[in-house]
Protein backbone atom coordinates (compact mmCIF):
# COMPACT_ATOMS: atom_id res chain seq x y z
CA UNK A 1 0.00 0.00 0.00
CA UNK A 2 2.80 2.43 0.89
CA UNK A 3 4.50 1.54 -2.38
CA UNK A 4 1.34 2.55 -4.26
CA UNK A 5 1.29 5.92 -2.48
CA UNK A 6 4.93 6.56 -3.34
CA UNK A 7 4.27 5.59 -6.96
CA UNK A 8 1.36 8.04 -7.18
CA UNK A 9 3.46 10.78 -5.61
CA UNK A 10 6.25 10.05 -8.07
CA UNK A 11 3.82 10.16 -10.99
CA UNK A 12 2.30 13.42 -9.77
CA UNK A 13 5.77 14.94 -9.48
CA UNK A 14 6.63 13.82 -13.02
CA UNK A 15 3.40 15.34 -14.34
CA UNK A 16 4.11 18.64 -12.57
CA UNK A 17 7.68 18.65 -13.87
CA UNK A 18 6.37 18.11 -17.41
CA UNK A 19 3.76 20.83 -17.00
CA UNK A 20 6.41 23.19 -15.69
CA UNK A 21 8.64 22.49 -18.69
CA UNK A 22 5.71 23.21 -21.03
CA UNK A 23 4.98 26.36 -19.03
CA UNK A 24 8.58 27.55 -19.50
CA UNK A 25 8.51 26.76 -23.23
CA UNK A 26 5.33 28.83 -23.54
CA UNK A 27 6.91 31.66 -21.50
CA UNK A 28 4.00 31.80 -19.07
CA UNK A 29 6.13 33.35 -16.35
CA UNK A 30 4.61 31.00 -13.76
CA UNK A 31 6.85 29.54 -11.11
CA UNK A 32 6.35 25.95 -9.94
CA UNK A 33 4.30 26.95 -6.91
CA UNK A 34 1.95 29.17 -8.90
CA UNK A 35 1.58 26.55 -11.60
CA UNK A 36 0.74 23.92 -8.96
CA UNK A 37 -1.88 26.25 -7.50
CA UNK A 38 -3.41 26.80 -10.94
CA UNK A 39 -3.50 23.05 -11.56
CA UNK A 40 -5.23 22.45 -8.20
CA UNK A 41 -7.77 25.18 -8.96
CA UNK A 42 -8.56 23.61 -12.34
CA UNK A 43 -8.81 20.15 -10.74
CA UNK A 44 -11.35 21.64 -8.34
CA UNK A 45 -13.53 22.99 -11.12
CA UNK A 46 -12.21 26.49 -11.85
CA UNK A 47 -12.58 27.37 -15.52
CA UNK A 48 -9.04 27.51 -17.00
CA UNK A 49 -9.94 30.36 -19.34
CA UNK A 50 -11.35 32.40 -16.47
CA UNK A 51 -8.22 31.65 -14.44
CA UNK A 52 -6.08 32.86 -17.35
CA UNK A 53 -8.00 36.13 -17.49
CA UNK A 54 -7.60 36.64 -13.73
CA UNK A 55 -3.85 36.04 -13.92
CA UNK A 56 -3.50 38.44 -16.85
CA UNK A 57 -5.49 41.12 -15.01
CA UNK A 58 -3.43 40.67 -11.85
CA UNK A 59 -0.25 41.07 -13.88
CA UNK A 60 -1.58 44.26 -15.50
CA UNK A 61 -2.56 45.68 -12.12
CA UNK A 62 0.79 44.74 -10.62
CA UNK A 63 2.65 46.42 -13.48
CA UNK A 64 0.51 49.55 -13.10
CA UNK A 65 1.21 49.71 -9.37
CA UNK A 66 4.94 49.24 -9.94
CA UNK A 67 4.89 52.02 -12.53
CA UNK A 68 3.03 54.32 -10.13
CA UNK A 69 5.48 53.52 -7.34
CA UNK A 70 8.46 54.24 -9.57
CA UNK A 71 6.92 57.52 -10.69
CA UNK A 72 6.03 58.39 -7.11
CA UNK A 73 9.48 57.56 -5.75
CA UNK A 74 11.06 59.76 -8.40
CA UNK A 75 8.82 62.62 -7.35
CA UNK A 76 9.53 62.12 -3.64
CA UNK A 77 13.25 61.90 -4.39
CA UNK A 78 13.06 65.28 -6.17
CA UNK A 79 11.17 66.76 -3.22
CA UNK A 80 13.85 65.49 -0.82
CA UNK A 81 16.59 66.95 -2.97
CA UNK A 82 14.91 70.33 -3.40
CA UNK A 83 14.00 70.65 0.30
CA UNK A 84 17.55 69.78 1.35
CA UNK A 85 18.86 72.53 -0.91
CA UNK A 86 16.85 75.20 0.93
Q: Which of 38-42, 67-71, 73-77 has the highest mean pLDDT?
A: 38-42
Model pLDDT, residue 1: 55
- How many C-beta atoms lie closer than 10 Å to residue 54's C-beta? 14
| CA torsion through residues 74, 76, 78, 84, sign | negative
> Quick one: pLDDT at residue 86?
45
Q: What are phi and psi of 3, to 5 degrees?
A: -60, -40
CA distance 12 to 28: 21
Higher pLDDT, 85 or 75: 75
Interval 10-19 mean pLDDT: 95
Q: What is the pTM of this model?
A: 0.71
63 pLDDT higher than 90: yes
| Mean pLDDT computed over every residue of the chain | 87
Amino acid sequence: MAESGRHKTSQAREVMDSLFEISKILNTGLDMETLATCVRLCENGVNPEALTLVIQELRRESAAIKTENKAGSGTSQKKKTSSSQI
